[in-house]
Amino acid sequence: MDLGIAGRVALVSASSTGIGRAVALALAAEGCRVALCARRRGPLAEAAAAIERETRAEVLGITADVTVPADISRTVREVQGRFGPIDILVNNAGGPPPGGFDETSPEAWDEAFRLTLRSAVLLCREVVPGMKERRWGRVVNLASISVKQPIDGLILSNSIRAGVAGFGKTLATECAPYNVLVNTLCPGYILTERLTELAEVRAAKAGVSVEDMMSTMKSNVPVRRIGAPEEIASVAAFLCSERASYVTGTVLQVDGGLCRSLL
């Protein structure tokens, strides 16, 4: 299926590894000019070079920390200077650290807000006005199934990512008349560094091996396996496309059936 986005300019944050990198690759494969940003210069440069080599698309890597407002503004300026106005924005960020209420400090709450919600808000403030002027844009917020089904031991993710979903839904309504579509994507158990970290924490608390904990997590998924980043990326690319022209304001889980919620 031709997604109709060849030549579009896309910015994917936190895209040197994991789901962000897979989304950047999927968009580049569709012919987008793709900008990646991440904090670690080495993995970022490797990811950008690998995506460019595999897809022959134009790819730009920008070292930036999305918790720093000045870095966000600079990143957008660099993308626009190289490729032109941004048509597609994929808001991604590393997940807040695991923990319950008693073990989570006020400083951790502040950091989770800056990383997960404020970064999405500030990136949208930079690029959505231009999308509205051109009457075309796609924003995809990468969140978690914790938005629909809170996960034990992840109080920061459960709380702050719900804010991302609320922000996305409200922005979708405001932007819909301008053909700027906003959706939130909620991965389940996906094979990333984040999932490994979660498995390690759970295994330590339960007194079992990480391998046993991963097996337990897998058994809780109806399709009986952990997902791959590419499976999230395929859905994200669709939501960024012309083919998703009547899809906005959704909060969609891609989780192998893990979330039991009806909505």
The pLDDT tens digits along the chain (263 residues) read 799 999 999 999 999 999 999 999 999 999 999 999 999 999 999 999 999 999 999 999 999 999 999 999 999 999 999 999 999 999 999 889 999 999 999 999 999 999 999 999 999 999 999 999 999 999 999 999 999 999 999 999 999 999 999 999 999 999 999 999 999 999 999 999 889 988 998 999 899 999 999 999 999 999 999 999 999 999 999 999 999 999 999 999 999 999 998 87
Residue 180: enclosing H or E segment and its boundaries?
Answer: strand 180-187
Please check whether residue 2 lies inside any domain of the structure: no
- Which pLDDT belongs to residue 261? 86
**Does one domain contain both 104 and 74?**
yes
Please check whether residue 27 lies inside any domain of the structure: yes
**Does one domain contain both 250 and 161?**
yes
Residue 88 makes CB contacts below 8 A (sequence gap 6+) with 5, 8, 9, 10, 11, 27, 32, 137, 138, 139, 140, 240
C-alpha neighbours within 13 Å on the C-beta side of residue 10: 36
**Does one domain contain both 160 and 212?**
no
Domain at 13, CATH number: 3.40.50.720
- Which pLDDT belongs to residue 240? 98
**Does one domain contain both 168 and 208?**
no
Please check whether residue 96 lies inside any domain of the structure: yes
**Does one domain contain both 15 and 141?**
yes
Please check whether residue 26 lies inside any domain of the structure: yes
Please check whether residue 31 lies inside any domain of the structure: yes
**Does one domain contain both 39 and 169?**
yes
- Which pLDDT belongs to residue 182? 98
Q: What is the pTM of this model?
A: 0.95
**Does one domain contain both 164 and 215?**
no
Query: Structurally, how many domains does the chain consist of?
Result: 2
Please check whether residue 259 lies inside any domain of the structure: no
Please check whether residue 249 lies inside any domain of the structure: yes
Please check whether residue 247 lies inside any domain of the structure: yes
- Which pLDDT belongs to residue 35? 98
**Does one domain contain both 86 and 161?**
yes
**Does one domain contain both 212 and 127?**
no
- Which pLDDT belongs to residue 146? 94
Range(s) of the domain holding residue 31: 9-189+229-254
- Which residues face 87 on adjacent strands? none
Residue 242 makes CB contacts below 8 A (sequence gap 6+) with 3, 4, 5
**Does one domain contain both 121 and 159?**
yes
**Does one domain contain both 132 and 237?**
yes
Q: Residue 49's closest CA among 39, 59, 37, 34? A: 59
**Does one domain contain both 40 and 77?**
yes
Three-state SS across 202-221? HHHHHCCCHHHHHHHHHHCC
Q: Residue 58's closest CA among 91, 24, 92, 87? A: 24
- Which pLDDT belongs to residue 208? 94
- Which pLDDT belongs to residue 122? 98
- Which pLDDT belongs to residue 117? 97
